[in-house]
Chains A and B, each alone.
Chain A
Amino acid sequence: MSDAVSSTRDEKRGSRFAPLAAVVLIVLLLAAIPLLTDSPYLLHVINLTFLTILAAVSFRTIIISGQFPLGHAAFMGIGAYSSGMMAKWLGWSPWITIPLGTLVATCVGIIIGYPFSRLRAVYYAMVSLFFGIAVVQIINAGGVWSGGYSGLTGIPPLMGFSKTPYYYLFLIVTFVSLLVLYRFETCRVGTTWKAVAQSYLIASSVGVNEAFYRVYALAVGCFFAGLSGALYAHYNFTIGTSSFDFVATMMFLMYGVVGGMFSFVGPILGTALLVLAPEVARGLKQYVPYISAGILLIVVYGMPQGLIGLPGMIKRLFTGHRKDGAGRAYHAS
C-alpha cells in the first residue's frame, strides 16, 4: 500500500547540525509561548496539537512497516477509556492510570497483532478498520462503566484545571516520544520495518522474522497512540467514542498525506496545519469544513509529496526544471 521508504534523500548532505539546531530552536520557541501569551485558549489548542501529533506520527510508524492500520484511532480510545475508567471507578491516581492505559493499548495491539499480521496489506487494512469499529461499538455498549454513547465524564484531571502545566508536560512527552520514534525509524529496527514493507519474501530470505517485526511496529504504534489517548482523557475530563472512530483515523491519514507521508516531519506539519487552520477560521462557523476539505484537496491534487515537498517544488519552479513525471509518487503501484 503506501511506501514511506527512505527519507534519507531529504536529509541534508551538508551540515548535520542544521536540523538539530532547528529542532532545538523550535522547542525553545514552543517553551516560551506560555510566557509570551495570556490566552489559555491558545495553549489549549497547542496542547491538543501536541497529542494529535503524537498519534499521527505513531500512525505513520505502523505504515512504515507496510501495514495500513485503518483502526488506529481505536487504540487511542483504548488508552483513553482504560485510563479514564480506572481513575474514575477505582479511584487510582491519573499518574498511575495513564501508564496503565498505555500498557493496555499496547497489549491489545500485540494480542490482535499476531493474527492480523498474517494478513496481506489490503486485508489487514480492512480487518483493522472493522476492529476499530468493533472497539467503538464495544465502548458504546459499556453501559454505566464507559458511559456508553453519552461518553465518559467525571474523569479526574491530571494536574488541575490550568492549561500551562499540561502545556509543558505535553511538550516534553511529545518531544521525547518523537525522539524515540525517530530513533526507531532510523536505527536497525526501522530499516527492518521498511524492508518488511517492501517485500516479504526478500526480507524473510535474509532471516528476518517478518511476523515479529510487524507486531513490533504495531506495538510501538499502539503504545504511543494509547499514551496520547490516556493523556487526552485526563486533560479533557470527558471523552466520547466520536473522537476515536474511523473518521479520526482518516484524520491521521489526512495529516500524514498533507504533510508528506514519506518524511518523519510530514505528519507533524500536516497535523499542525490541519488542527490550527480550523481554529483560526473558527469565525466561519458552519463553513469551517470547507477549509479543511479545501486544504486537503489542494494538497492532494497540487502537491504529490505533501507539504514537505513544497520547497522542492518551489525550487524546481525557479530553476526551471520540469518535474520528472508528476513528482516522485511515494507509492509505487
Chain B
Amino acid sequence: MTLTLTVGAIINTLFLASMYILIALGFALLFSIMEILHVAHGVIYMLGGYICYSLSVTLGINQWLSLVLTVAIVCCFGPVLEKFFFRPFFRDFDRTLLVGIGISTIIETTMVLSKSNEAQSLRAFATGILKMGPVSVSNERLVTFLIGALLLVAVIWLIHGTKIGLQMQAVGQDLEASLLQGINIHRISALACVIACGLAAVAGSLLGAYMGLGPFMGDFVFQKALVLVVLGGIGSIGGIFLAGLVVGGIDAFLPLFISGSAASALAIGIVIVVLLLRPRGFFGREMGF
C-alpha cells in the first residue's frame, strides 16, 4: 500500500470515527446512560437535516445561524419524546422499540410523500481544501471532525463532571435508589431527550451537507450508533470514542483490501467476535438484566 493510500486511510479513519461518534452521541446519551432505547434517533437526525435545509436554502438564512436555529427547534421535540414515547413504556424495551419503529415509519412515509425531488443537499458548511504534503482534506470534513470532537468532549464533561450528568447516570444504574435520593426521573429524562435531539440535529445538518439529504438517510444511524454503544460499553461515553475509532478504522481500511459487500460482512464479523470475547464492550458496566 502506498504512502498516499495509507495516509488517506488514516485521515478517513479519523473522519469516519468523528462522523460515527457524532451520530451515536445522542443515541448513546439515552441508551448508554439512561437505558432508554431511542430507535427513532435516525428520524430525528433526518428531520434535523431537512429543517436546516428549509432554513438555510429555502429561506436563505445564513447556514451557521440555521444550524443553531435547527438545534433549538429540534430540541423542542425532546420533552414530547419523553412524555409520549418513553414515559408510558419506561423500561419496557419491546414496546419502546416498536413505538420507535412506528413513529419512524410514519415520519419517513410522510417525508417521501411530501418530496418529489430526488436529490437535495445542504451547502457545505466550509468550502476549500486543506493541503499539507501528501495530505489533502476538505475543510468541510475538517469542520465536521472538529465539531464532533468538541461535542464528544462536551458530553463527557456533562456526564461525568456535572450534577445533572451524575443524576442521569444514577437513573440509568439504579432507578429505585435514584427515586430515594429525590431525583426527578421525568425531568432528567426530558433533559436527556432534549440534549439527544439537539445532538441528532447537529449530526443531521452536518452530515446532510456532507452526504446529501434523503427521507431514508437516518436508516443507517440506528445500526451504527448501536454498534458504537455496544462496543464501547453501556454506561461509558468514553468507550464510544474508542469504539468510533475502531469501527472507523475498519470501515476506512477494509474496503481498500476487500471489494464490495464482503468488506461490510467482515466489518460486522469483527464486531461480533469482539463482543463474544468481551460482551461488556470496552468500558461498559454490567447490565442489571
**Which A residues are in CB contact (< 8 Å) with B112?**
286
Given the contacts A254-B98, A257-B94, A331-B92, A141 and B106 also touching, CB distance less than 8 Å: no
Interface of A with B (CB < 8 Å)?
1-2, 115-116, 119-123, 126-127, 129-131, 133-134, 137-138, 140-141, 148-149, 246, 250, 253-254, 257, 261, 286-287, 289-290, 292-294, 296-297, 300-301, 329, 331, 333
Residue pair B276, A137 in contact (C-beta under 8 Å): no
| Choice from B227, B260, B262 contacting A130 with Cβ under 8 Å | B227
B263's closest neighbor in chain A, by CB? A141
Contact B105 A133 (CB under 8 A): no
* Pair A141/B264 contact, Cβ less than 8 Å: yes
Contact of A290 among B88, B106, B268, B269 (CB under 8 A): B106
A contact patch SS: helix
A297 touching B97 by the CB < 8 A rule? no
A56 CB, min distance to chain B CBs, angstroms: 14
Assess the A286–B264 pair: CB atoms within 8 A.
Answer: no
Other-chain contact of A119, B95, B260, B264, B279 (Cβ < 8 Å)? B279
Q: How far is the CB of A295 from chain B (nearest CB, A)?
A: 9
B264-A287 in contact (CB<8A): no
Q: Is B64 close to A, CB under 8 A? A: no
Closest Cβ of chain B: how far from A149's Cβ, in Å?
Answer: 7
Kindly provide the distance from the CB of B250 to the nearest chain A CB, expressed in whole angstroms: 13
Instruction: Please name all residues of chain A whose beta carbon is closer than 8 Å to the beta carbon of B269 when the two chains form the complex.
Output: 134
- Cβ-defined contact, A250 with B268, below 8 A: no
Q: Give the docked Cα–Cα distance between A137 and B89 (Å).
A: 33
* In the bound complex, CA of A131 to CA of B268 (Å): 8
Q: Which residues of B contact A292 (CB under 8 A)?
A: 105
Q: Given that A293-B102, A293-B106, A300-B99 are contacting pairs, would A140 and B264 also be in contact in the complex, using a CB cutoff of 8 Å?
A: yes
Assess whether A300 is in contact with B275, with CB atoms less than 8 Å apart: no
Q: Size class of B's contact patch?
A: 35 or more
Taking CB atoms, residues of chain B closer than 8 Å to A133 are: 223, 268
Q: Are A261 and B94 in contact (CB under 8 A)?
A: yes
Chain A residues with Cβ below 8 Å from B106 are 289-290, 293-294
Cβ–Cβ contact A246 & B223, under 8 A: yes
In angstroms, Cα B264 to Cα A254, docked, is 28
Which chain A residue shows the least CB distance to B109? A289
Per-position contact with A for B271-282: 1 when CB-CB < 8 Å, else 0? 110011001100
Give Cα A253–Cα B37 distance, bound, in whole angstroms: 15
Set of chain A residues within 8 Å of B234, measured between Cβ atoms:
122
The answer to whether B102 touches A141 (Cβ under 8 A) is no
Would you call A130 and B92 a contact (CB within 8 A)?
A: no
A331 CA / B89 CA spacing, docked (Å): 10
- State which of A127, A253, A287, A333 has its C-beta within 8 Å of the C-beta of B272: A127
Would you call A300 and B98 a contact (CB within 8 A)?
yes
CB pair B268–A134 under 8 Å, yes or no, is yes
Q: Are A1 and B93 in contact (CB under 8 A)?
A: yes
Evaluate contact between A137 and B94: CB separation under 8 angstroms: no
Q: B265 contacts A141, CB within 8 Å?
A: yes
Sorted from nearest, which 9 A-B pairs have the closest CB atoms? A137-B265, A141-B261, A141-B262, A140-B261, A123-B279, A333-B91, A293-B105, A134-B268, A293-B102
Known: A133-B268, A329-B92. A257 touches B98 (CB 8 A): yes
Q: Decide if A297 touches B276 in the complex (CB within 8 Å).
A: no
Q: Is there an interface contact between A130 and B272, defined as CB atoms closer than 8 Å?
A: yes
Q: Does B289 contact A (CB under 8 A)?
A: yes
Nearest B residue to A137 via CB reads B265
The minimal Cβ–Cβ distance linking A117 to chain B, given in whole angstroms, is 11
Q: Are B98 and A296 in contact (CB under 8 A)?
A: yes
Are A120 and B99 within 8 A (Cβ)? no
